[in-house]
Amino acid sequence: MSLKKQLRKIAKFILNNSSEKKIYVTIEKVNYNGCLKDRNIIITGGSKGIGYSIAEKCVDEGANVIITGRNEKNLKIAKQKLGINCEYVVFDSNNINSIYDLLENISEKYNIILDSIVLNSGISLHEGDYSNVTEESFDKQFNTNFKSNYFFAKYFLEYLKAKKRKEGNLLFISSETANQCYDIPYGLTKNSMNSLVEALSRREYKNGIRVNAIAPGVTKTDMTSEYADASDGNLYRNCSSDRIFLPEEVAEVACFLLSDVSKCISGEIIHTNAGNHLNPFWEI
């Protein structure tokens, strides 16, 4: 455990034993009785965190799921938990020239035609402010968070058309930071992503393809553990929503957006942060 994380845990312990709020949340899951039955969904970065929770929900609703990621050990563990309706492929999303081949290879290997993709892979280097940003950290985040997802979307659309699919779903995992002023790469990549979601939706909805995004607030994952540790179950966080969110909450929204009951929704960025990104006049 890093020194920074140790200090945060100590500070949280002190606050929790004084006047700090304690917030605990029970996740309510909707049983849609197999609303994704026979759907074939690929989820990038699907071995942990939000990606894993979305994969779990999709499997529970009858989908065949393929998760991708760079760490085979984590992928194997996820597949074992998710069961026979989940397969995994070791793949680095930055390997742009191999994306279309990946989609074709999955189709051939598992004898399926993919119909939906969840573009979840991403990184944050938590620089704090622009003074700590380097060219290397800038490029790494833009390449992973935006460039790779851009080309994954492009090649997935081309794949759907080549397979003559009349319907399809692209779901991006964005962030509440896209709606806030940001001078570090992470939020800037998500802002670009939101613009892409809206543009692709305008182009493709008439072709039967829906494009949406979910913009989570700070969610309990490995990415946020350095500054939003909730290992003790207390989800309190000092922000307008008063708390950290859970991957399972995001997964419920993802399932709704991937299912046919939301056919009238496209080009939307759905925030799963209880409005934390909003700036009411009385707080300005």
Q: How many CA atoms lie within 13 A of 188 on its CB side?
A: 18
Rounded alpha-carbon distances, angstroms, from residue 281 to 40, 180, 277, 278, 284: 45, 15, 13, 10, 5
H or E stretch covering 209? strand 209-216
Starting at the edge strand found earlier in the chain, the sheet holding 269-272 runs 86-90, 64-69, 40-44, 116-119, 168-173, 209-216, 269-272
Nearest to 32 by CA among 69, 65, 63, 76: 63
Q: What is the mean pLDDT of residues 63-79?
A: 97
Cα dihedral 66, 71, 76, 77, rounded to 10, equals -110
With 50 as the cut, is the pLDDT of residue 232 above it?
yes
Ramachandran category for residue 273: left, alpha or beta (phi over 0 → left; psi -120 to 50 → alpha):
alpha
86-90/116-119 β-pairing: unpaired
Q: What is the mean pLDDT of residues 209-221?
A: 92
Q: Strand, helix or coil at 262?
A: helix
Which one is predicted more confidently, 1 or 170?
Answer: 170
Q: What is the mean pLDDT of residues 109-117?
A: 97
End-to-end CA distance of the chain: 38
What's the pLDDT at 233?
75
pTM here is: 0.89
Residues 6+ apart with CB under 8 A from 163: 107, 113
Q: Mean of the per-residue pLDDT values for the chain?
A: 90
Q: Which residue shows structure tokens 């985040």?
A: 141
- Condensed to tens digits (0 to 9), the pLDDT of residues 7-18 reads 555 555 555 554
- Condensed to tens digits (0 to 9), the pLDDT of residues 94-107 reads 999 999 999 999 99
What's the pLDDT at 18?
45
Q: What is the largest CA-CA distance in the chain?
A: 61
Cα dihedral 193, 216, 117, 105, rounded to 10, equals 90
What's the pLDDT at 230?
67
Which one is predicted more confidently, 134 or 4?
Answer: 134
Which one is predicted more confidently, 238 or 76?
Answer: 76
What's the pLDDT at 162?
97
